[in-house]
Structure 1
Amino acid sequence: MATMVGSGLSNQSGAAIGSLAFPVLGPTGVVAVRQYVAALVLLAVGRPRLRSFTRRQWGPVLLLALVFGTMNLSLYTAIDRIGLGLAVTLEFLGPLTIALAAARRRVDACCAVIAAAGAVTLMRPQPSTDYPGMGLGLLAAVCWASYILLNRTVGRRVPGAQGAAAAATVSAVLFLPVGVVLVLRHPPTAQSVGFAVAAGVLSSAVPYLADLFTLRQVPAAAFGLFMSVNPVLAALVGRFGLGQELGLVDWSAIAAVVCANGLSILVPRR
């Protein structure tokens, strides 16, 4: 339990710290640094033998790299526009949709309705509603769902963590021009780079290693149930770490999305 709590807090705290570098690096620059850190960590863990990959293996790996980069870029841009709690909640609709789409129970249909109601409530028209930001949050959800499906394919075709490491490396290479342009046009400060590196370590390295350890000790259902609490953790970190206020209606909508996932996992399957 302590490991799962630490993983969740690390992930959301990393995103919050990364947002502190937005004024200098922008979301794109922060994501670029995060991709570099993720690639270094996964290369050390997975040690992929890239030269031995076949065309059949490279196909899903390249798609995974593209989705990985797009997912992080859309999420961090959404965080910049609508705040950490709302962005992570919208992104969480991706894996929740994957879980509910494979189910055939009435309770899962009810969970889908509850989650949809929560999402609609979060995106309700208001004078300050940022629809591009909301759209980016939903794009992150689509990418996360695609990330899950592609990871399964990569896992079947590439042994161990080699596929994930290769995808992270390709994604980092794709973001290299971003880093070059940033350095040449607007040299970053040491502090902003430090924030971005911290985001990479806390949101990529620590959660990956913690989840790898947790999945060996905790049943998948319990792990999935705890993962559903991430939107709440994100909202709390945004509130107390970044001063991002949420109204009662927004908190209720986040709770609806979390409860939909928890109910789907907790109700016994026949």
Structure 2
Amino acid sequence: MEKLKAILCLLIAMVSIQAGATFAKQLFPVLGPQATTFLRVWISALILLAIYQPWKHKFSKKSLIAVAIYGLSLGAMNLLFYLALERIPLGVAVALEFTGPLTVAMFASKKLLDLMWAFFAACGIVLILPHSDFSQSIDVIGVLFALGAGAFWGLYIIFGKKLGHHIKGGTATAMGMLAAAITVSPTSIPQLRFAEYSGQIWLMAFAVAVFSSALPYSLEMIALRRIPSKTFGVLMSLEPAAAAVMGYLFLSEQLSPMQVVAIICVMIASSGSSLTSRTAEVPPQN
């Protein structure tokens, strides 16, 4: 029963993250990806700071440096993902972003079988890129932004584990989100037009912050305590499919057959790597 509850929490978290992404993409015509990132990350940071109150703790210089690096990775991951989402479908963006944690998992495992998962991931990337059928081509800059987000997701995993040695639990998350908010501010502030934002805009921005960060991160932590990390990693591999479905239902994003095959290739690579790698855990998505 506990395992079933954990799986349910994880599935709800997946839907929540992609719902947050669909809300965010609907804000792009009004705010743009940079301003949307700013509002999402700052609202998330304020919520987490209010909950965990990190100012009650003392931090060493080394721990603050770890927070800064972790927050830089988290902020860059969020910003690049939204820049990608502006140009390419949600399902494609999520599939490409998964190459980051997938690469980390493969490097953590020395098994020859991981070469096969790398092959599937590479096939997914190649199939997504534009080919001779230009009517089905995809924005190359959007692809690069998504791959960049994936690279920073990989760094987020590495530095997140290091941060865990200095600061524990929600306090680390709250501090990291604050650092991420500071990271995205320089490129986002010039895009802000607070006086022009209606109550509906603020409500949607709050929904993006809650559905994309606060709620799914909490649910994923519950799931991780109740199921093996390999099970967690395999279930997380469903994320690109969930993103494609949410994009179709709420953003009217239709994928070409080639892009669907590409997403399936990345899902196979991710689930296979989760089963065979030593770490086998995919931390919460952006």
Asked if Structure 1 and Structure 2 have the same fold, meaning a TM-score greater than 0.5 normalized by the shorter chain, the answer is yes
Secondary structure of residue in 1 paired with 2:255: coil
For 1:6, which of 12, 15, 23 is the aligned residue? 12
Quote the offset at 1:59 in angstroms.
1.0
Answering whether residue 192 of structure 2 is matched by residue 182 of structure 1, we say: yes
Answering whether residue 246 of structure 2 is matched by residue 237 of structure 1, we say: yes
Cα deviation digits, residues 170-199 of structure 1 (max 9, x gap): 322455564586135x61222222222211
Quote the offset at 1:159 in angstroms.
2.9
Cα deviation digits, residues 84-143 of structure 1 (max 9, x gap): 111111111100111111112122111111111111111233534311111100100001
RMSD over aligned CA atoms reads 2.0
Answering whether residue 147 of structure 2 is matched by residue 131 of structure 1, we say: no
Distance 1:124 1:101, change over 3 A: farther
Residue pairs, 1:1-270, within 5 angstroms = 1-49=7-55, 52-125=58-131, 127=134, 128-175=137-184, 178=188, 182-183=192-193, 187-266=196-275
Cα distance in 2 between the residues matched to 1:50 and 1:87: 38
Cα distance in 1 between the residues matched to 2:68 and 2:256: 41
The one-letter amino acid of 2:141's match is P
Which stretches in structure 1 are left out of the alignment for 5+ residues? none
Quote the offset at 1:51 in angstroms.
6.8
Q: TM-score, normalised by structure 2?
A: 0.87
Counting matched residue pairs gives 268
Distance 1:182 1:109, change over 3 A: same
The one-letter amino acid of 1:191's match is Q
Cα distance in 2 between the residues matched to 1:3 and 1:161: 18
Cα distance in 2 between the residues matched to 1:57 and 1:145: 20
Q: TM-score, normalised by structure 1?
A: 0.92
Secondary structure of residue in 1 paired with 2:206: helix
Distance 1:32 1:259, change over 3 A: same
Which stretches in structure 2 are left out of the alignment for 5+ residues? 1-6, 279-286
CA contact (8 A) 1:49 1:162 kept: no
Query: What's the % identity of the aligned pairs?
Result: 34
Cα distance in 2 between the residues matched to 1:193 and 1:89: 29
